[in-house]
Chains A and B, each alone.
Chain A
Amino acid sequence: MTEIKNKYSLIIVGAGPAGLTASMYASRYKIDHLVIGQAVGGLAFEAHKICNFPTEEEISGVQLIGKIRKHAESLGMKMVNTEVTKIEEKNNQFEITTENNKSFLTQAILLATGTKRRKLNINEDKFIGKGVSYCATCDAMFYQNKTVAVIGGGDSANTSSLYLAKIAKQVYQIYRGNKLHGETIWIDKVIHNKKIKLIYNTEVANLEGKEKLERIVLNVPYQQAREINVDGLFIEIGTMPRKQLIKQLLLKTDQDGFIKVSADQKTSRVGVWAAGDITSASNNFRQIITACSEGSIAIENIFEFLQKTNKSNL
């Protein structure tokens, strides 16, 4: 293992597909860099089945990330597994402080910290571990022959419903829109699955139960009733960007908080680039492949930036 220094030309914050791919490119451009990430893999790590990544017909998030990481390591990636809590600009350099109070200096930053799951913001916290889950792959087995509900209408909700339908007795998929979105291949399977009942144009307004979740309350009645008795509820209503570092760096974002970047992944601040789910680039598609792509584009531009800066410093 190479020793970790306290000064680099580039620090990549985030160790998901964008950060790891960026490190691969950075190594090949011989950019002296470090990756700092809270958990290797980010949100992609939790995907139980990925079927749209070239060369992989079907692979789990863990396996795919493992392969990308191994590839990046083979090219010399150095990584510290912790969270970045503070970034400050000092004399044309950035000082990065981590959760365990270590600090690093860098000329350039690539922010690839991704997103976190969006919450319902009703009373779901009371039932976490007591019927409410954010991970169908993890918790489906606790609902054998039971009744569950899934909230959401995109790929994560659709795949969760399909996975749960294999195990549970009945799955209600509740969505506030009037049409499912995401890959047609999943939508078709959901629509034709006899165990899944789709409830459109509806939101979950409240959760009820004594010791654990017993029923959900809808904002509009379904088959004359506002309440549905369920044993489990899976919340899959999309993601939101991790805001802390975006705020500290005063980066420009879109109305949903995703970082605005130019075609070369530059943010509104000199010396800071962003890639992956945290940006509004790639037409807001937020796929593993677009994250990898954005990571690689950023590095090419960072390489040019570092060359110019270092030349003018000579």
Chain B
Amino acid sequence: MSKTIEITSENFEKEVLQSSIPVLIDFWASWCQPCLMMLPILDDLSEELNGKLKIGKLNIENPNHQFLASKYQVQSIPNMKLFKDGKIIKEFVGLRKKETFKIELEEALK
């Protein structure tokens, strides 16, 4: 069982950039309704893709996190970026359906 993890400016380096497996980071905020709809989907996918992928949630409402959103040029949320070996290999913008998103992720992880 692998739950999604809470990403902060403190653990970003360790959990994302230095991760031994690919990491999907979800940039989200509570004022964004599609983001709220995306959260449970990510929880499910985190368990279903256990071992292959780690999923982290980064709440950009926290002023300490906003530099990460601007560093990674987030201009629209929900915004999910797939990191592998510290680099972004794929980006997903907007609410996605669980089944199709799972296929997209598996494809990107090949």
Contact = CB atoms under 8 A, between A and B. Distances in A.
Interface of A: 38-39, 41, 45-46, 48, 60-62, 83, 99-100, 128-135, 137-139, 141-142, 212, 232
B86 interface: no
A266 to B, nearest CB: 30
A138 B34 contact: yes
B79 interface: yes
B91 A129 contact: yes
A128 B78 CA distance: 12
Given A133-B76, A212-B75, A128 B93 contact: yes
B73 interface: yes
Contacts of A141: 29, 31
A99 B94 CA distance: 20
A128 B33 contact: no
Contacts of A139: 32, 75-77
Nearest to B76: A129
B32 A142 contact: no
**Most B-side CB within 10 Å, residue of A39, A41, A61:** A39
B31 A138 contact: yes
Interface string B87-101: 000010111010100
22 contacts: A39-B95, A46-B34, A48-B31, A48-B33, A62-B33, A62-B36, A100-B99, A129-B79, A129-B94, A130-B76, A133-B75, A133-B76, A137-B32, A137-B33, A138-B32, A138-B35, A138-B76, A139-B75, A139-B77, A141-B31, A142-B74, A212-B73
B75 A39 contact: no
B37 interface: yes
B49 to A, nearest CB: 16
A135 B34 contact: yes
A138 B95 CA distance: 12
A100 B91 CA distance: 25
B60 to A, nearest CB: 8
A99 to B, nearest CB: 5
A138 B60 CA distance: 11
Nearest to A131: B75
Contacts of A99: 97, 99
B96 to A, nearest CB: 11
Nearest to B70: A142
A141 B69 CA distance: 11
Contact of B97 (A48, A83, A131, A134): A83
Nearest to B74: A142
B77 A39 contact: no
A130 B75 contact: yes
B56 to A, nearest CB: 19
B91 to A, nearest CB: 7
A45 B37 contact: yes
Contact of A138 (B33, B69, B91, B97): B33
A45 B33 CA distance: 7
Which of A62, A100, A128, A138: most chain B Cβ within 10 A? Answer: A138
B98 to A, nearest CB: 8
B46 to A, nearest CB: 17
Contacts of A41: 33, 37
Given A83-B97, A99-B97, A129-B94, A135 B32 contact: yes
Nearest to B31: A137
Contacts of A38: 97
